[in-house]
Amino acid sequence: MTDFAKKTAVVTGGGQGIGRAIAEALLRAGGRVFLAEIDAEAGDEACQELSALGPVEFVDTDVADPVSVQALRRRVETGGGLDLLVNNAGIMARKPLSELGVEEWQRVIGVNLTGPFLASRAFAPLLSANSGSIVNIASTRALMSEPDTESYAASKGGLVALTHALALSLGPAVRVNCISPGWIDVTALQKGARRKPAVLSALDHAQHPAGRVGRPEDIAAMVLYLASDAAGFITGQNFVIDGGMTRKMIYVEE
């Protein structure tokens, strides 16, 4: 289920965090990975650290820019076909509604929602030729919220809906699925300038029905499964990976 030998993937936002963990898992499974990343420092650093595992290349990409996405496609085409697109790049603007500017709103929607649309549209022909798949990385914020996260929640909710729309439009040649992570600790997978030890309390872990905070490899494992032949009958679905948090009823005890 985790064999990706001689296959090629594009991972957007692959220089840090969950995207980097996904890239590492794909390389360990025998694949080739293009890291589409807007942070050149993170992209170069990730390539240097992951190159011992297999062929990996950083491509400077703004997923919200159609010209940049087309340049990414041209670079990938020079290396052959494509088997997997992981739309992982994402940003957040946490501000009170009264302070959230239209430009900030549009940038979050641009990266988190327009970006997956542009990449899916650009790479659909390559994926179709290889019976490939798309995995979108949304968030449990598509299902539940904290205050001051309107743009992020809206973008991730839209991404879940975009997933099933793409599954119908691109199937059966291309399967399209979505993963909605909960609390995933990515502190160890930031670029070097931002990397620091995790600070997690016993309560942080205990509030999860699974007994712990999530790890990036939890998401990477699901990506590998959804990209495999074992998931050949799965498309248009959203998989919540949150240690059970969205199933937990919370009451205030007096």
pLDDT at 197: 73
DSSP state of 130: T
AA letter at 54: G
Closest of 22, 32, 83, 31 to residue 219, by C-alpha? 22
Identify whether 216 is preceded by a cis peptide bond (ω within 30 of 0). Answer: no
Sheet with 84-87, strands from edge to edge, namely 56-60, 32-37, 8-12, 84-87, 133-137, 175-181, 238-241
Tell me the pLDDT tens digit for each residue of 103-152: 999 999 999 999 999 999 999 999 999 999 999 999 999 999 999 999 99
Average pLDDT over residues 151-166: 98
240 Rama sector, left if φ>0, alpha if ψ -120 to 50, beta otherwise: beta
Q: Does domain 8-247 have CATH number 3.40.30.10?
A: no
Is the pLDDT at 172 greater than 80, yes or no?
Answer: yes
Mean pLDDT of the chain: 94
pLDDT at 79: 80
CB 32 within 8 A of CB 7: yes
pLDDT at 211: 86
Closest of 201, 91, 104 to residue 139, by C-alpha? 91
| pTM flag (> 0.85) | yes
CB 27 within 8 A of CB 14: no
63 burial (CB, 10 Å; 0-12 / 13-18 / 19+) is: buried
C-alpha atoms less than 13 angstroms from C-alpha of 190 in its C-beta half-sphere: 11
CB 93 within 8 A of CB 152: yes
> Catalytic residue positions?
152
pLDDT at 254: 59
pLDDT at 188: 85
Tell me the pLDDT tens digit for each residue of 86-99: 999 999 999 999 99
What is the phi/psi pair of residue 154, to 5°? -65, -40
